[in-house]
């Protein structure tokens, strides 16, 4: 992330405790006009850390907002320490953290929870914080996550997303200092995956792609090939495929669509040689990974204006995903692919395909409404606390 300028363009910490930037600014002015926050002397036995932000987060100038945000950061630090001391996030045999079956199931629930909110953000925005706080109240009273999430109730809705990205910047800084990885390239890859556990950022570019920043496409390809080794992650593991998808999304963000297609084509060949297990719908993660590969390839082809190949890749993505989910079930991968396929079909004037996509999407959202109606009639609260079991 590039650094911005201004009073609230950084987060400052003394011995792990966040400090008020306005007080720092006054202190700097007393010391000298040319002094910078990271150059200010601090008392002995206190370490200072500065996290630069790509914007000036003026929302933090409000004392009440800053105090609530400060409390959120304190509780987050406590949560990191608790998870590592209790071995909730213990590493597996590959050196990846928080990848136990229980953690992966919880991540899937949380990811679906997030994707559904994003999909309906225009309708639910004003209710999101209230819903999350309500869900958090179902956690045990001594659970530090309950304190973390309760802080959201006191934080204003931040339309610019500055609070979210500042919070993520803090957690990214906290992670390597909490978990000690060996300083090798493959261990660095594992560290980044252990933190992100997703192929795309949950906000605008916020550090998710730091692994590939300043690399040439050839370097990106090589670093991905290295982690495919069976002694590391294995070429068909979700972790390896996820990192391939991250690299492809990074090339898309850079606007290098030709290289995006090149990596997508290479990865898609992997699924063609996978054998009979590829037809199985019993491994939903494998099904999702394969479908996402062809979806990203289709996005790349469309960006290169190769609409015929885009259509073919997106059709493959839909066919694969429908082996894992039915039309009546809302699924982020399926919905995104159908929408993209619809847009390409309209460009190619394939009205039959466009109409089919529209009908399947209507069926999906109708199924979502029916399920919600049934749940309300049963008066059963949604299982949202399971989303916080990470």
The DSSP string of 148-167 is: HHHGGGGSPP-TT-HHHHHH
pLDDT at 102: 84
Between the two ends of the chain, the Cα-to-Cα distance in Å is 27
pLDDT at 123: 44
Smallest Cα–Cα separation from 117: which of 50, 231, 109? 109
Residues in the chain with pLDDT < 70?
A: 1-4, 31-46, 117-136, 151-154, 156-159, 180-183, 202-206, 230-231, 273-282, 372, 375-376, 378-390
Q: Which phi and psi angles does 139 have, rounded to 5°? A: -80, 160
pLDDT at 35: 56
Non-local (6+) Cβ contacts of 214 within 8 A are none
CA distance 7 to 115: 34
- pTM as predicted: 0.74
CA distance 34 to 65: 29
CA distance 72 to 78: 10
Residues of the chain within CATH 1.25.40.10 domain(s) are 197-377
Taking CA atoms, 169 is separated from 12, 190, 370, in Å, by 12, 19, 39
Homologous superfamily assigned to 197-377: Tetratricopeptide repeat domain (1.25.40.10)
């Amino acid at each position: 992330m590039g650094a911005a300028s201004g009073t609230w363009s950084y987060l400052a910490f003394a011995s792990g405790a966040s400090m008020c930037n306005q007080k720092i600014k006054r202190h700097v002015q007393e010391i000298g006009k040319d002094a910078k926050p990271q150059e200010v002397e601090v008392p002995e036995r206190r370490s200072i850390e500065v996290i630069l932000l790509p914007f000036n987060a003026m929302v933090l100038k409000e004392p009440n907002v800053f105090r609530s945000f400060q409390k959120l950061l304190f509780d987050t630090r406590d949560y990191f320490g608790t998870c590592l001391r209790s071995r909730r996030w213990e590493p597996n045999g590959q050196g990846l953290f928080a990848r136990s079956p229980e953690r992966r199931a919880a991540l899937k629930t949380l990811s679906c929870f997030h994707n559904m909110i994003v999909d309906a953000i225009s309708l639910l925005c004003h209710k999101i914080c209230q819903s999350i706080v309500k869900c958090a109240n179902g956690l045990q009273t001594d659970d530090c996550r309950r304190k973390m999430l309760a802080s959201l109730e006191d934080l204003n809705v931040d339309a610019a997303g500055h609070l979210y990205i500042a919070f993520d910047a803090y957690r990214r800084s906290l992670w390597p200092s909490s978990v000690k990885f060996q300083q090798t390239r493959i261990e660095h890859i594992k560290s980044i995956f252990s933190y992100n556990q997703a192929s795309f950022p949950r906000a605008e570019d916020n550090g998710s792609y730091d692994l590939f920043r300043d690399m040439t496409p050839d370097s990106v390809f090589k670093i991905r090939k290295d982690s495919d080794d069976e002694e590391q992650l294995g070429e068909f593991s979700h972790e390896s495929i996820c990192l391939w998808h991250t690299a492809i999304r990074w090339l898309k963000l850079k606007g290098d669509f030709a290289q995006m297609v090149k990596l997508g084509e290479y990865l898609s060949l992997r699924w063609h040689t996978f054998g009979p297990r590829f037809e199985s719908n019993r491994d939903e993660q494998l099904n999702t990974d394969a479908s996402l590969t062809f979806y990203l390839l289709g996005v790349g082809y469309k960006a290169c204006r190769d609409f015929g190949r885009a259509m073919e890749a997106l059709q493959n993505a839909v066919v694969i995903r429908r082996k894992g989910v039915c039309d009546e079930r809302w699924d982020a991968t399926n919905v995104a692919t159908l929408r993209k396929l619809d847009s390409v079909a309209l460009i190619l004037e394939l009205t039959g395909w466009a109409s089919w996509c529209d009908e399947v999407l209507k069926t999906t959202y109708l199924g979502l409404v029916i399920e919600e109606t049934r749940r309300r009639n049963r008066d059963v609260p949604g299982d949202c606390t399971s989303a916080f079991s990470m």
